[in-house]
Amino acid sequence: MGLAHTMVPDNVPSERVVDFDVYNPTPDAERYHQAFVDFQRTTPHPLVWTHHHGGHWIAVRGQDVFDLYADHEHFSSRHFFVPAAPDQVPMGAFTLDPPQHQPFRTFLNHGFAFKTVSGKTPLVQQLAADLAGGLVERGSCEFITEFADVLPLTVFLDLVELPLTDREHLGALADAATRDPDPAHRVQAINGIAAYLQPHLAARKGKPGEDLLSRAVNADIGGRPITDAEALGACIHILGAGLDTVSSLFSFVMLFLARHPEHRRALVDHPELIPTAAMELIRRFPVVTMARQVRMDMDYLGVRLRAGQMVALPSALYNLDETIYERPMDVDWNRKVGKVLTFGNGPHRCPGQVLGRNELVIGLQEWLQRIPDFSVPVDARVPVIGGTVAKILELPLVW
């Protein structure tokens, strides 16, 4: 694809223009993360401009990506997708900057408190055991639709006390909201989630409840009741985040284990490794690419930024930066994993990260106990699609 030079703003130096699509660096899931590493290694500048998705900046160096993610004074979370959609619905803490962000974050933190999350462990274990157990005799499965989507979506719907029968409908809306390349379609999907949520929120308003939706609709915001519009936006965020990210991460993990029998065998033979191994897998397979909006004209990393311009922040560029982690593309069960950007950084760090990690750990434990040896069929194509959350579209496994 050639560069559309007419779309490059006059504040962008010509040497900073690249042809790289942060949402679709490759259609091949097996090369998805390598594509980011190759881009980083061959890009000499810390901040570059691409014409893709309406034109936006990309932070290239790992530490810059990590720092910029949390720099709410210069970069706003109001828009998190490129290109920015002017009519995007505000989504509570997700699209608010401090200090307005904090009251909305408080009820999220309570809803994902350790006691709440740990209380779901028996459900996660039973569900993962049932799903894997039901597949054993078949000798094959399509992992995305038969395990990766079902486990976290079911647990999440239980957490927010919504009907399990709505799982596929909500999953499709979340998919469009996070990955449709057309901003209008993303807004349409978000509006679909809003329409679904409104009667549920109306039924819970004024009634005490421990689930996240009840907490949101009855929240206190700096000494005043949350408005209906604020509660709706917050719950759209809760639903969108809870329905998608863990499934995507789990899919990349299983593709890796299917392709690397020695790594898989180590976990089968030593299941006590799985909890720490999960952190290495979370580091190695980040799936999120958020964006931030420049709040003011300013000089940054050697270029002039203009208010309103967007900066993409692929989490892979931190987790897989060789100045952050030695041999970053290698999966090492003995690696001491420190900071990662998989669940974000700063005031918008994902409040559901403990739940997500637990689902990955338990899912691996239950699957490997029942299906220890599996692979991808020789002729299989494993496609991936990007967006704020990258997702493998189809992952056939056989055993």
* Three-state SS at 303: strand
Please state, in angstroms and rounded to a whole number, the distance separating the CA atoms of residues 270 and 159.
31
Please state, in angstroms and rounded to a whole number, the distance separating the CA atoms of residues 66 and 390.
19
Say what the pLDDT of residue 2 is.
40
DSSP classification of residue 89: P
Angle made by CA atoms 270, 272, 274, in degrees to the nearest 5:
90
Please state, in angstroms and rounded to a whole number, the distance separating the CA atoms of residues 59 and 64.
7
**Phi, psi of 306, rounded to the nearest 5 degrees:** -115, 145
Is 24:42 a contact under the CB 8 Å cutoff?
no
247-300 residue pLDDT tens: 899 999 999 999 999 999 999 999 999 999 999 999 999 999 999 999 999 999
Residue with the larger pLDDT of the pair 182 and 336: 336
Say what the pLDDT of residue 246 is.
87
Tell me the pairing of strands 56-59 and 75-76.
Answer: unpaired
Question: In angstroms, what CA-CA distances link 180 with 60, 77, 81?
Answer: 24, 19, 10
Say what the pLDDT of residue 306 is.
98
pTM (predicted TM-score):
0.91
Say what the pLDDT of residue 94 is.
65
**Phi, psi of 143, rounded to the nearest 5 degrees:** -65, -35
Assess whether pLDDT exceeds 80 at residue 181.
no
Please state, in angstroms and rounded to a whole number, the distance separating the CA atoms of residues 53 and 66.
22
Domain positions in the chain: 5-398
367-376 residue pLDDT tens: 999 999 999 9
Assess whether pLDDT exceeds 70 at residue 91.
no
Percent of the chain with pLDDT over 70: 92
Tell me the pairing of strands 224-225 and 289-294.
Answer: unpaired
Please state, in angstroms and rounded to a whole number, the distance separating the CA atoms of residues 286 and 133.
28
Please give the distance of CA 180 from its chain centroid, rounded to a whole number.
15
Is 214:208 a contact under the CB 8 Å cutoff?
yes
The two tokens of residue 199 are 């009667």
> Nearest to residue 357, comparing CAs of 146, 117, 122?
117
Mean pLDDT of the chain: 90
Question: In angstroms, what CA-CA distances link 108 with 79, 89, 139, 216, 301?
Answer: 20, 19, 40, 8, 34
- Give kind and range of the element (H or E) at residue 117: helix 114-118
Please state, in angstroms and rounded to a whole number, the distance separating the CA atoms of residues 363 and 116.
19
Say what the pLDDT of residue 4 is.
44
Instruction: Kindly state the average pLDDT of the residues 376-380.
Output: 94
Assess whether pLDDT exceeds 80 at residue 170.
yes
Superfamily name and number for 5-398: Cytochrome P450 (1.10.630.10)
> Nearest to residue 163, comparing CAs of 206, 118, 196, 125?
196
309-336 residue pLDDT tens: 999 999 999 999 999 999 999 999 999 9
Please state, in angstroms and rounded to a whole number, the distance separating the CA atoms of residues 387 and 319.
18
Please state, in angstroms and rounded to a whole number, the distance separating the CA atoms of residues 295 and 306.
8
Please state, in angstroms and rounded to a whole number, the distance separating the CA atoms of residues 262 and 333.
11
Please state, in angstroms and rounded to a whole number, the distance separating the CA atoms of residues 152 and 165.
14
